[in-house]
DNA sequence: AAGACGAAAGTGGTTGA
DNA sequence: TCAACAACTTTCGTCTT
């Protein structure tokens, strides 16, 4: 009966934080991401007898903005139905069908296509439903404001998804969006900026910490290393090392250092690849982190000894 | 041979006149 | 609208393990 209570496989703690808006369950004690693709199948009401069941159960799909008509439209039969009708009924049917077609305007047709594309891309990226819904809403607004004209539908979809991810603090890199949607990275960036500006969507600069769980699990690093990286990032933010820098680069460097400290070394190339930055960037951030946060002592003692020896040989 | 390191030149975006 | 600028990338050579 306690299906809902899970133990953290790493430290055994049962103090888990469920982050629904991110679709993640996180252990409060060690920071391990236990499940990152959760779906809530439960019903939010209770029923005690058939009378209550009749009142409280609802049928039909939930209303959602991911359907182009919010799941509410009616369609007037299909053409195969017409052969079961005769005479007057047939005329009436035809008339109704015509009206229905007039109601679906160009906007709705566009939305229908766009939302299909949006679903395709988001399922490829395994994005939580809340992000998809938000993205649909943004796209709907964009279409109604006529912002899609002159741009490809796909690029606008990618742009709105990028914006929605940022808003929900589950950032994906532009590169990831680019490979998922097949749209050029620059193009996505352009439409993203255009759409958010025109619609007045305020988006905070993304926090490097938000990237850590994904990068860390892609590199198969321990939860310990991941929380170490969080710690490093927090210190780095206090020292103002993060402003103006690409958040992915900082996240990658923090993870790299944390891995070194915990003797789970990953090469700069490995880290760079999952973070979508170059080794050079990691090196630069990494140097800054070591200098400003005095992390040298935490690295292997052999390194420290060596630098002491080499000081004698300097000129 | 692979990884780490750093210099130099190039790219795309932002800012301020 | 243009030039200066910062961050990041690409490329390449050198050093270390």
Q: What is the pLDDT of residue A26?
A: 62
Extract the residue ranges of chain A whose pLDDT is less than 70: 1-90, 93, 96-106, 294-315
Please tell me whether residues A282 and A236 are part of one structural domain.
Answer: yes
How confident is the model over A172-183, as pLDDT tens digits? 888 889 888 888
Question: Same structural domain for residues A159 and A217?
Answer: no
Tell me which H or E stretch contains A261: helix A247-261
| Domain C-terminal end among A101, A131, A164 | A101
Distance A270 CA to B2 C1' (A): 13
Q: Quick one: which residue's CA is nearest to C9's C1'?
A: A278
Query: Same domain, yes or no, for A185 and A242?
Result: no
Please report the pLDDT score of residue A252 as a whole number: 92
pTM, to two decimals? 0.68
Structural domain that includes position A18: 1-59
What are the φ and ψ backbone dihedral angles of A34, each rounded to 5 degrees?
Answer: -85, -40
Question: Is residue A41 located within the same domain as residue A81?
Answer: no
Q: Is A74 left (phi over 0), alpha (psi -120 to 50) or beta?
A: beta
Listed residues A164, A199, A234: the one ending a domain: A199
Domain count, chain A: 4
Q: Within this chain, do residues A90 and A160 fall inside the same structural domain, yes or no? A: no
- The DSSP secondary-structure symbol of A116 reads H
Last residue of a domain, one of A199, A217, A237: A199
- Can you give the CATH number for the domain in which A24 is found? 2.20.25.10
- The answer to whether the CB of A270 falls within 8 A of the CB of A216 is no
CA angle A252, A210, A280 (to 5 degrees): 15
For residue A305 the two structure tokens come to 């000894």
Backbone angles phi, psi at A40, to 5 degrees: -95, 105
Q: Which of residues 37-76 of A touch strand B (CB under 7 A)?
A: none
Look up the CATH number of the domain holding residue A216: 1.10.472.10
Task: Quote the pLDDT of residue A34.
Answer: 55
Q: Are residues A217 and A299 in the same domain?
A: yes
Write down the pLDDT at residue A11.
Answer: 58
At residue A158, the pLDDT reads: 92
Q: Give the pLDDT confidence score for residue A110 in this predicted structure.
A: 83
Instruction: State the pLDDT at residue A39.
Output: 47
Instruction: Identify whether the C-beta of residue A201 lies closer than 8 Å to the C-beta of residue A210.
Output: no
A window 241-300: Cβ near strand C (< 7 A): 244-246, 249, 276-278, 280-281, 284-285
Tell me: do A76 and A111 sit in the same domain.
no
Q: Do residues A33 and A95 share a domain?
A: no
> Can you tell me which residue has its alpha carbon closest to the C1' of nucleotide C11?
A280
pLDDT at A73: 54
Query: A214 with A258, same domain?
Result: yes
In chain C, which nucleotides are within 7 Å of a protein Cβ? 6-11, 17
- For residues A139 and A222, state if they share a domain: no
Do A162 and A241 belong together in one domain?
A: no
A271 CA: nearest nucleotide by C1': B3
Question: Could you tell me if A68 and A147 lie in one domain?
Answer: no
Supply the pLDDT for residue A5: 46
d(CA A257, CA A295): 9
pLDDT at A161: 92
């Amino acid at each position: 009966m306690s299906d809902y209570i899970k133990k953290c496989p790493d430290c055994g703690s049962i103090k888990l934080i469920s982050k629904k808006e991110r679709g993640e369950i996180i252990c409060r004690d060690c920071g391990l991401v236990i499940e990152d693709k959760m779906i809530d199948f439960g019903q939010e009401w209770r029923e005690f007898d058939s009378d209550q069941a009749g009142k409280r159960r609802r049928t039909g799909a939930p209303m959602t903005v991911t359907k182009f008509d919010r799941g509410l439209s009616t369609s007037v039969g299909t053409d195969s139905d017409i052969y079961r009708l005769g005479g007057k009924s047939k005329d009436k049917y035809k008339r109704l069908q015509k009206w229905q077609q007039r109601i679906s305007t160009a906007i709705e047709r566009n939305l229908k296509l766009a939302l299909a594309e949006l679903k395709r891309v988001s399922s490829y990226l395994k994005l939580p439903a809340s992000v998809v819904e938000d993205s649909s809403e943004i796209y709907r607004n964009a279409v109604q404001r006529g912002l899609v004209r002159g741009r490809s539908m796909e690029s606008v979809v990618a742009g709105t998804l990028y914006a929605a991810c940022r808003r929900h603090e589950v950032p994906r890199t532009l590169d990831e969006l680019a490979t998922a949607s097949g749209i050029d990275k620059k193009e996505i960036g352009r439409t993203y900026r255009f759409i958010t500006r025109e619609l007045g969507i305020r988006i905070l600069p993304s926090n490097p910490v938000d990237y850590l769980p994904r990068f860390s699990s892609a590199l198969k690093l321990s939860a310990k290393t991941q929380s170490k990286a969080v710690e490093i990032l927090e210190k780095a933010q206090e020292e103002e090392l993060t402003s103006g820098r690409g958040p992915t680069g900082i996240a990658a460097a923090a993870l790299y250092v944390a891995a070194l400290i915990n003797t789970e070394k990953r090469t700069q190339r490995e880290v760079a690849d999952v973070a979508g930055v170059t080794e050079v960037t990691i090196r630069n951030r990494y140097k800054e982190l070591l200098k400003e946060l005095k992390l040298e002592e935490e690295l292997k003692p052999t390194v420290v000894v060596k630098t002491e020896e080499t000081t004698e040989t300097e000129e």
